[in-house]
Structure formats: C-alpha cells, structure tokens
Amino acid sequence: MLNKENFDFSFSGLKTAVFYSVKDKKINLSLKEELASEFEDAVAEVLIKKTLKAIKKYKIKNLIIGGGVSANNRLRKEFKNLEKEKETLKVFLPNKKYTGDNGLMI
C-alpha cells in the first residue's frame, strides 16, 4: 500500500490479520499492549507517508487534521513533527475536546 502512487489506504486487511492472529487465544495484557502498539505504528506510518506524498505532489501549505483520528496522540505528534520538518507547512489540529466523531462538528 505504501509503495503505490495513489493516496488510497485501507486497514481492513491489517485489522483482519490481527483479529485472526489472536482469535480464540488467551493472551496476556503485555501482548495485547504490544499488538495494539504495533497496529498503531502501522496505521500511523501509512497515514503520515501518504499525507507527505500528497503534500509534495500538490505543494500543500496548510494541512487540517480533523475527526476522530485527530484525537490520537501519536498522530498529533507525528503531524506536528511534519510541520517542523517542512518549513512551508502549517498543520492545524483541533482542541482535543472537539476531536470525537459526532454531530457536533457538522
């Protein structure tokens, strides 16, 4: 998915793979935390790299991150790091109290 030239992404395959790897298994909290962290790493990598690709292709100067994904601390940090790396880029993130997926933002 990362090496394709488009900006599409889907995590259903990853989600399914994780589900079936732990289905019907007793796993301890440590392993659950490790799996969750690795899942988050994989998703964050795709979102950041695809976003960076779009920034370069379309010469984006302002990036607005919204919705439920903007509540994720890891992604917030990564997008702010992008802003530091790209002097011409301004990243806008909402206050965390407005980051839920609900009708309030509509």
* Residue 29 near residue 37, CB atoms below 8 Å: no
Report residue 105's pLDDT band, with 50, 70 and 90 as the boundaries: low
| Domain presence at residue 106 | no
Nearest CA to 35 among 24, 19, 48? Answer: 19
d(CA 18, CA 58): 34
pLDDT beyond 90 at 67:
no
| Domain presence at residue 1 | no
Confidence (pTM): 0.82
What average pLDDT does range 66-84 have in this prediction? 94
For residue 62, what is the DSSP state?
Answer: E
How many domains would you assign to the chain?
A: 1
For position 90, which CATH number holds? 3.30.420.40
Question: Domain containing 44: what range?
Answer: 12-19+26-101
* Residue 93 near residue 80, CB atoms below 8 Å: yes
Tally: H helices and E strands in the chain: 3, 2
d(CA 42, CA 10): 11
What average pLDDT does range 3-14 have in this prediction? 87
